[in-house]
Amino acid sequence: MPDFGLLSVIIWLPALAGALIALFAGNAAGARWAALAVSLLQWIPGVMLWRAFAPGAGYQFVERNAWIERFNVEYYLGVDGIALALILLTLLLTPAAVVAGWRAINRRAGLYYGALLVQQGLMLGVFCALDSLLFYVFWEFMLAPMFLIIGVWGGERRIYATVKFFLFTFLGSVFMLVALVYLYLQSGSYAIPDLHAQPLSLTEQQWLFFAFLAAFAVKVPMWPVHTWLPDAHVEAPTGGSVILAAILLKMGGFGLLRFGLPVTPDAAAQFAPLIVGLSLVAIVYIAVVALAQRDLKKLIAYSSVAHMGFATLGMFIPLSRASAEGAALLTLGMGGGMVQMISHGFISAALFMCVGVLYDRAHTRRISDFGGVANTMPVFAVLLALFALANAGLPGTSGFVGEFLVILASFRAEPLVALGAGTILVLGAAYSLYMIKRVLFGEVANEKVAALADLDVREAIALGGLALLVVALGLYPGPLVELMEPSLDALARQVMAGKAGAL
Amino acid sequence: MRAELALAALVPVALLVDLAAGSRKQAVTRAVSLAGLALVAWAAIKAPNGEMFGGSFAMDGLARILKLSGTLLTGLAFAYAPRDLKAAGALRGEYYLLGMFALLGVFVTASAGSLLTLYLGLELLALALYTLVALQRHCAQAAEAAMKYFVLGAIGSGAMLYGISLLYGLSGSLLLDEVAAQGSAGAGSYVAAALVLAGVAFKLGAAPFHQWVPDAYQGPPLGVAVILATVPKLAYFALIVRLMVTGLPVAQEQWNPLLIVMAAASLAMGSIVAIAQTHAARLFAWAAIGHVGFLLLGVAAGSGEGLAAALFYTLVYTLMVAGAFGVIIALQRQNAPLDSLRGLYRRHPGLALIMLLIMLSMIGLPPLAGFLAKWQILMALIEQGMTVLAVVAVVFAVVAAYYYLRIVRLMFMEAPEEEGRLTPGWTTTLLLSANGLALLVLGIWPNFLLDLCRAAFASG
């Protein structure tokens, strides 16, 4: 009896609709509206999932069908609180990504929107997969639509950027494939819960941990394998940047929580100081790099790397030293990392859309080409200022909650690290405010700026919606935390119990 | 044996039809050949398992699957090729006749149970191929390719024949089963294994015996190259299984290290040198060397799983190559420089999307069939504790991704060299779509083919 349900719907609806749009969409307007309709329609199963989800009841909405019988590979889907939070993020942001290309994408729009929707389906598949090979299928095939989105509709150096993106991530991922095959040969199963339960010696865990790290660190991206990101962001069209920053990067963090920590807990604890160190470098050094950028998109791209460093810091700092609080501290740290990732999803999407708004009108992204934009685009200026401040961690916005939780966890584990991490509050404020000052305030810099028109209705709805989410999450993060907490707690206990002792 | 007889009968029938239809109506010859191939395929499905001629000829699972696949690929080549051959002035009835002779060679090799039938099949195949490459006989490039291919192929055959004669001398029998039973791991069998392996490597185009491959692919018209790149690979797979795995199991410890070195060298050569190519057929030639390296790793794993994985790889790989050549033929450019792929999406979106599928499958992106092929080889390797080799293989797969991405880039991200929509004709479009989609379908529903491949090595 085939076993399909809501999760299959949210994965395959956009994937199939995207394929149809790519093949048959006659004109740009049709493709746009169809993509918007599908991405909004997706909210219905999304809300159903959210309403029916019971936090703390393990994996839910499970669908389990045999797939490749000889190797015990299954079509096995299910979500816990962590995955559901990221699924909701994806569902919320895809319409924004569709709107972001509304003006700019006129050439081969069918292929563009088709690729965007296929991309959405694949990303949701990554969050839903409970079979590691199925996870790999979604994870890897995602490279194809993104390769096209950057390469066909990107900027001047788009080909260099997209090939670099593909090869970097592909190289990381193949090591994960080797690790998954090794785990299958040990456990006889590709099911992720079985991999979590599989006892492994410390040496095995060390190798496996680095194989997983190769895949996930590139995606996060952690310093020093982040170099593809600024290139990809700068060249990608706005919609691509939104998807890339808001959702694709989160997959790296999600992968660490799904594989890195629970499959190889002892190795994760052993190498936690290394990850913490790399995260700190990302937070401090990359933030300084962001300060020096002249291109708006590059600035936001580097700020993304710094913020994702915060997420990985939260996940690993509680492991870096044995502490009495143990699992509770790990729950706190991972929760902070997750909130940080969700919040960064909204904020970075909004910031990239703001840059897109400016670029669509003025066809430049150089900060020095702007100045005094607040005079000609007042509504836009308010929103951009809000998002920039949220990016800097202003209390009352979602950016604050994640950073606060991570710093709290760091402080309990290792106060000195918390001090280092705290610099992001200063540096983040510095590059955000400096950017606002140069772009928004002052005299109207030139004729181009003088000719700027304020937001149209679609842009206002999309950015206004994101602003509401950012503020709502900042003031009342309770529902999000409650959604994830039981799953994070279970995960933390499992990680803390370790594995090597069972052998 | 029925399928062989049907095929052997088909060749003179097609020849007579070709004579009667006259040189201007190759379409008739083609139709007769394709209908005949369908019959041959049916015969191959129906033929019972069993041995003939005292074990010299055997029908088994492996033989059946290779024969069916060979017939299918020959049919695809016959369907794709005429357009290109016509443009090259090489469209003659002989093309179909030689193609079917080559297929007969594949059939005999696939079913060979003795050293003699094995060699017979191989030489039948090789002679048909040499002639096919020389089909465009007034073209200097084709003649040069044919000459190189012939001379180097003859050296390869010679080495193998010498090895075979040593095996016969050591065991006193031509039957592969008895060769295996009599074999001992002495110096004699080591020399024999090395010589045979060199011959196999020549045929397959594995490094360091690969130099003839790029010229042989590039010299003749694409319609010939599509046969050269697909059908014979099946026979060479049968060759390595029958001769090395069945015939020389005792010496496996001796020849396996050689095989591993050859596989790794092929991977490296194929993946790296292909990056610099500017000509489509030449690029696929170097890529083929890399793919051969990958599938040899499956054989080197030395397990039934590994062989089944290598068989799956061979079947899927030949299907991908057939589709890729099909698309390039549809571009209708003499000599097919890679630049002729520029802007294909604008000139014919359907073809570009099919080629995209094929390229992603070649890269090994899941869930396409090319991924399942690579994944099974990795499993077989890691199962045997050869994790380092698995890592080497995936790293070169990433290197190889670069030039497949270049093709995607040319099709989707560059402006076309010449404007105007391509008109490949609806049969070609349909066949190419089926060819491309087959890779997706095989990737999503692989169980049937996986089980067939495993059953072919059930005892292994």
Query: Rounded to a whole number, what is the distance in Å from the CA of B75 to chain A's nearest CA?
Result: 28
pLDDT for B460 = 42
Those residues whose C-beta lies under 8 Å from the C-beta of residue A397, and which sit 6 or more positions away, are: A343, A347, A386, A389, A390, A470, A471, A473, A474
Chain A residues whose beta carbon lies within 8 Å of the beta carbon of residue B360? 141, 144
Closest CB from A108, A137, A181 relative to B379: A181
pLDDT at B225: 92
Number of H helices, E strands in chain A: 25, 2
Q: What is the pLDDT of residues A296-325, one digit of tens each?
A: 889 999 999 989 998 999 999 888 876 666
Q: Which of A144, A166, A185 sits opposite B382 (nearest CB)?
A: A185
Q: Does A292 touch chain B if contact means CB atoms closer than 8 Å?
A: no
Contacting residues of A for B405, CB less than 8 Å apart: 147, 163, 166-167
Rounded Cα gap, residues B278 and B286, in angstroms: 11
User: Quick check: helix, strand or coil at residue B156?
Assistant: helix
pLDDT confidence tier of residue A369, bands split at 50, 70 and 90: confident
Q: Which pLDDT band, with edges at 50, 70 and 90, does B185 fall under?
A: low
Q: What confidence score (pLDDT) does residue A175 get? A: 93
Q: Considering chain A, what is the average pLDDT of its residues?
A: 88
Q: Which of B362, B408, B410, B445 to mutate to test the interface with A (most CBs of A within 10 A)?
A: B408
- Residue owning tokens 């060819």: B435
Beta carbons of B446 and A68 less than 8 Å apart: yes
Cβ neighbour number for residue A371 with a 10 Å cutoff = 19
Say what the ipTM of the complex is.
0.90
Calpha distance A343→B117 (Å, rounded): 70
How far B420 CA lies from chain A's nearest CA (Å)?
Answer: 17
Distance from CA of A211 to the nearest CA of B (A): 10
Can you tell me the mean pLDDT for A398-417? Answer: 88
Cα dihedral sign, A340-A344-A347-A351:
positive
To probe the interface with B, which of A140, A157, A189 has the most B CB atoms within 10 Å? A140
The answer on pLDDT for B437 being more than 90 is yes
Per the structure block, which two tokens stand in for A238? Answer: 């706005």
- For A143, the closest of B365, B372, B446 (CB atoms) is B365
Question: Cβ separation of A181 and B395 shorter than 8 Å?
Answer: no
DSSP A224: T
Interface test with A, best of B303, B365, B399, B414 (most A CBs within 10 A): B365
Residues of chain B with a CB closer than 8 angstroms to some CB in chain A: 345, 349, 353, 356, 360, 363, 365-367, 371-372, 375, 378-379, 382-383, 387, 390-391, 394-395, 397-398, 401-402, 405, 408-409, 412-413, 446-447, 450-451, 454
Residue contact B390–A178, C-beta within 8 A: yes
Which of B363, B408, B454 has its CB closest to that of A70? Answer: B454
Question: Which of B345, B365, B383 shows the shortest C-beta gap to A140?
Answer: B365
Q: Model confidence at B263, in pLDDT bands (50, 70, 90)?
A: very high
- Min Cα–Cα distance to chain B from A212, Å: 14
Q: Examine the pLDDT at B298 and tell me if it is beyond 50.
A: yes
- B243 close to B118: Cβ distance less than 8 angstroms: yes
Alpha helix (H) ranges present in A366-441?
373-376, 378-391, 398-413, 415-440
Residues from chain B that touch A111, judged by Cβ atoms under 8 A, are: 345, 349
Collect all residues of chain B within an 8 Å Cβ-Cβ radius of residue A141: 360, 365-367
Contact list in A for residue B354 (CB cut-off 8 A) is none
Distance of alpha carbon A48 from the chain centroid: 23
Which of the four pLDDT bands, split at 50, 70 and 90, describes residue A176? very high
The SS3 of residue B302 is: coil
Q: How many residues does chain A have?
A: 503
Residue range B145-161, pLDDT digits in tens = 999 999 999 999 999 99
Peptide bond between residue B208 and the one before it cis (omega within 30 degrees of 0): yes
Residue corresponding to tokens 């080495």: B159
Question: Helix, strand, coil: what percent of chain A each, to 5?
Answer: 80, 5, 20
Predicted confidence at residue A503, as pLDDT, reads 60
pLDDT over 90 at B50, yes or no: no
Output the pLDDT for position A501.
64
Spell out which residues of chain A touch residue B372, defining contact as CB-CB under 8 Å.
68
Rounded Cα distance between B26 and B18, Å, is 7
The residue among A273, A268, A276 whose CA lies nearest residue A206 is A268
Residue B337, helix vs strand vs coil: strand
Q: What is the mean pLDDT of residues A130-153?
A: 92
Q: How much is the average pLDDT of A227-251? A: 90
**Could you tell me if B307 and B245 are in contact, meaning their C-beta atoms sit under 8 angstroms apart?**
yes
Q: How far apart are the first and last CA of chain B?
A: 24
Shortest CA gap B409–chain A (Å): 7
**Are the beta carbons of A185 and B412 separated by less than 8 Å?**
no
Q: Is A43 exposed, middle or buried (0-12, 13-18, 19+ CB in 10 A)?
A: middle
Would the CB atoms of B366 and A175 count as touching at under 8 Å?
no
* Beta-carbon contacts of residue A274 (< 8 Å; ≥ 6 apart): none
Q: Is A229 in contact with A196 (CB distance < 8 Å)?
A: no
Beta carbons of A166 and B401 less than 8 Å apart = yes
CA distance A346 to A402: 13
Beta-sheet pairing, A73-79 with B57-59: unpaired
Residue B22 pLDDT more than 80? no
pLDDT of residue B23: 63
Closest-CA distance, A429 to chain B, in angstroms, reads 39
Put simply, whether A24 touches B (Cβ < 8 Å) is: no
